Amino acid sequence: MHTPRGMSSSMTDAADTDHCASLVRALDRDRYVADLFAPADKRGALFALHAFNIEVARVREAITNPMAGEVRLQWWSDALIGNARGDVRSNPIAAALLDAVEAHGLPREALFALIDARIFDLYDDPMPSVNDLEGYAGETSSALIRLASLVLGVAPDRASAEAAGHAGVAYAVTGLLRAFPLHAARGQCYVPLDLLKAHGASREDAISGTPTPGLRAALADMRSLARRHHEEAVAALQSVAPEALPAFLPLALVPGDLKAMERRPYDPFREAPAAPPVARLWRLWRAGRTGRL
């Protein structure tokens, strides 16, 4: 973004940050609230990271065919490299993200991998296996936690990487379960094929609109997967510096969301169970004050 004559660069940076914060507040409330627990001088970079994530995660909603989506995702890769067409800094999210990368020494490779992982979202190919699902979650959700931890000044050691890996999978899988009705309606299947086949179900069952016993069993396996990773993340966090807490706070919502999906009656095609906004805010606030996730 060019700075108009007479306007300071700090004012421009503040405008970019405000834009990112507004977007995260509107479309990713969980991470927005978590970011507020970070020191004030770190929040701008966190808002930039999470606004960038929103932009690449919602590409499918803005395109008419997958190739157009790939072009949009490629623009973000080019922006990080410095090869994007036009004035990259005229995009407030790109400007804020580049500032965050430079200020905190964030590894561009992690951002490239996150962008590449989002190509899967553009197509209707089913998720092949649990390992693929964990890899997808690792390159998206876990990567965001690792990058946020770096912004917060946490050393990129083995303990923080392990905690971020498990936390990201737990949060991402729970989020995919909550979004199951939306994905099924547009023909997307994030339920791993190996889980479906283990219960005599198929991709067609996962988008049919009718919950079969096999599909319900596969979704129960996904909940168990999320719980296991949640437990391992909480255990790993015992060895991570407390400064990292804001990056991990959304993890506190996982147990409640999973429990809501097990209440009867529950139709996965028509319900996206989640605690009311006030309850989610309370859980995040309590976790932020106590450190219990």
| pLDDT at residue 183, as a whole number | 95
Residue in this structure with the two tokens 């989506």, named with its chain if needed: 69
| pLDDT at residue 164, as a whole number | 98
Give the Å distances, CA to CA, from 180 to 46, 140, 188, 273.
Answer: 27, 18, 9, 10
| pLDDT at residue 276, as a whole number | 81
Residue in this structure with the two tokens 């996730």, named with its chain if needed: 293
- CA gap 96, 165 in Å, rounded: 25
183 in the Ramachandran plot: left (φ > 0), alpha (ψ -120 to 50) or beta? Answer: alpha
SS3 sequence of 194-218: HHHHHCCCCHHHHCCCCCCHHHHHH
Give the Å distances, CA to CA, from 189 to 9, 18, 136, 231, 249.
Answer: 45, 35, 13, 26, 27
The series of mean pLDDT values per 10 residues for the chain, 293 residues long, is 38 85 97 97 98 97 94 95 80 96 96 98 97 98 98 94 98 96 95 98 96 96 98 97 97 94 85 80 94 91
| pLDDT at residue 234, as a whole number | 97
- CA gap 287, 293 in Å, rounded: 6
| pLDDT at residue 38, as a whole number | 98
| pLDDT at residue 10, as a whole number | 43
| pLDDT at residue 252, as a whole number | 97
pTM greater than 0.85 (yes/no): yes
Neighbours of 208 (CB within 10 A): 14
| pLDDT at residue 271, as a whole number | 74
Q: Which domains does the chain have, with CATH numbers?
A: 10-106 (no CATH), 124-293 (1.10.600.10)
Residue in this structure with the two tokens 């997958």, named with its chain if needed: 66
| pLDDT at residue 2, as a whole number | 38
| pLDDT at residue 264, as a whole number | 75
